[in-house]
Amino acid sequence: MFTQVRVVVVVLITTSLVVVSVAFSQPSRAQYFPYLYRQALSTGVWPSPDIQPLIDHNPYYIHGDFDGDGQTDLAMRVHNHENKRGLAILHATLDTVYIIGAGEPILGINRELNEEYMRLLPRGRRLRQAFVSIPDLGITEGSPFEFDRDAIELGFVAKSAWALYFKVGKHYEIKLAD
Chain-centroid distance, C-alpha 131: 25
pLDDT score for 40: 93
pTM of the model: 0.75
How far is Cα 174 from Cα 25, in angstroms, rounded to an integer?
46
115-119, 127-131, 174-178: the lowest-pLDDT one:
174-178
Cα–Cα distance list, 161 to 17, 87, 166 (Å) = 67, 15, 17
How far is Cα 131 from Cα 28, in angstroms, rounded to an integer?
44
For residue 41, give every residue at least 6 positions away whose Cβ sits within 8 Å of its Cβ, in sequence order, or none: none
